[in-house]
Amino acid sequence: PQLQRLDAEYYFPLSLQGLSNVSDLFLTLRIDDPKIPEILSQVAKMKNMTYLAFELANTFESNDIVVFERVVIPQVRQLRITTTLHFHEEDFSPALKRSLFSSLFFPGVEKLAVEVNGSDYSDYEKCWTNQCTRDYYFNKELNRIFRHVDQFPNVELFHLRIFTPLGDHHDSDGYSE
């Protein structure tokens, strides 16, 4: 197979023929997917892959914190990481993200883009109280991604995009809380 690009949303085909040929991988996974260790192990073996777009979808389920084995993905030169913060206080995803990114290392990445989105709080307007909502803390989300000084040692170009649906808070003060 001459597969060059793979878009995998919420499922990764571990036994797909031609995975070794993929140079561009667009991968979206739920942060609580029990197959994440297997998927990341397979991704690390994809030697022709130079571009990885990695998006994590949140969960409202309470899960055990998984300690992941160290995963080194040296072949990737361009990496895009996308995460979303939710207003809902019961979002268990932050702890899972911290655990996952603590295990990931990308020594070959030269171009890194990180996108942190704040979800649309209109989904939660019915329960708009201080008890069921939380603020966006973008610095905390960035700290969940950047876990080690040697995680991205060769980055030459870094692009950071933070988006919040709070229209009047598009400034550094709103982002850095």
Q: Could you tell me the CA-to-CA distances from 7 to 2, 26, 59, 103, 169 in Å, in that order?
A: 15, 5, 21, 23, 33
Q: What is the CA radius of gyration of the chain?
A: 17
Q: What crossing angle do the helices spanning 138-145 and 93-103 adopt, rounded to 10°?
A: 30
* pLDDT tens, N- to C-terminus, the chain (177 residues): 789 999 999 999 998 988 999 999 999 998 888 899 999 999 999 999 999 999 988 776 666 667 788 999 999 999 999 988 765 656 667 778 888 899 999 999 999 999 988 765 555 454 445 444 445 567 778 888 898 889 999 999 999 998 776 544 444 554 444
Q: Provide the pLDDT for residue 90.
A: 60
Q: What is the pTM of this model?
A: 0.82
How many whole angstroms separate alpha carbon 45 and alpha carbon 175? 36
Count of positions (residues) in the chain:
177
